[in-house]
Amino acid sequence: MGLSHKQKRKRFGRGEILQEALPPLASPLSSCLEDVKNSWKNKKNNIAALCNDWLKIAGQPLASNCQPLSIQRKVLVVGASHPQWLQALQYNRSQLLARIQAAGIDIKDLRIQQYHPPKIDIAKENELRVWSRHPSRIDIHGLAKCTKCSCPAPGGEITLWGMCSFCRRKFKLNNL
Ligand SMILES: [Zn+2]
């Protein structure tokens, strides 16, 4: 999709200047992903490669209770949230290290640390659920007329409070 010779030239006064050539088109995403995958294969000290094969290397039940966190200077950090699994890791440490090395991942040591995997944000989920039923949503409850100010207001507000949210705020302030 290169520009023709003519398009690359821009009129400039009586002469013309040559525009800077466009940068080459970015390669398609799929080939990028393929590149990433290949770089994992080549760089066996990569944490991603280890995560990929974690189940095979660590085996159950260790694999689902412990998690490789990072590799820095060939030291792998493995985390577990429960003291019982931290202990299990400690106990299996040398065996696990040997298995990881046997899998071709270039590490020389293994460190164990407590790690709490991020929890799903329940507060945020609730917020979304509340909003899905919120009386101010016209798309759900439709429009109605406020009984106080006669202005069009979300139907859900009228059903719930008998008035629009503006009147309700005023009403609440007056009754403090
Ligand atoms: Zn009103």
> Do both 133 and 106 map to the same domain?
no
pLDDT tens, position by position, 103-162:
888 899 999 999 887 666 667 767 777 777 787 887 877 888 898 998 888 888 888 888
Asked if 75 and 119 touch (Cβ cutoff 8 Å), the reply is: no
Please determine, for residue 56, whether its predicted confidence score (pLDDT) is greater than 50: yes
For ligand 1, the distance from its centroid to the CA atom of residue 131, given in whole angstroms, is 21
Q: Where are the beta strands (DSSP E) in the chain?
A: 9-12, 15-18, 66-72, 75-80, 109-114, 143-145, 152-154
Residue 85 is part of which domain span? 42-114
Residue with the two structure tokens 């917020």:
127
For ligand 1, the distance from its centroid to the CA atom of residue 56, given in whole angstroms, is 64
For ligand 1, the distance from its centroid to the CA atom of residue 151, given in whole angstroms, is 6
pLDDT tens, position by position, 57-105:
999 889 989 999 999 889 999 999 889 999 999 999 999 999 999 988 8
How many domains is the chain partitioned into structurally? 2
* d(C-alpha 41, C-alpha 35), whole Å: 10
Last-in-domain residue among 71, 97, 114: 114
For ligand 1, the distance from its centroid to the CA atom of residue 162, given in whole angstroms, is 9
For ligand 1, the distance from its centroid to the CA atom of residue 152, given in whole angstroms, is 8
> Do both 106 and 137 map to the same domain?
no
pTM, two decimals, is 0.46
Close Cβ partners of 114 (under 8 Å, ≥ 6 residues apart): 79, 80, 81, 83, 86
For ligand 1, the distance from its centroid to the CA atom of residue 167, given in whole angstroms, is 4
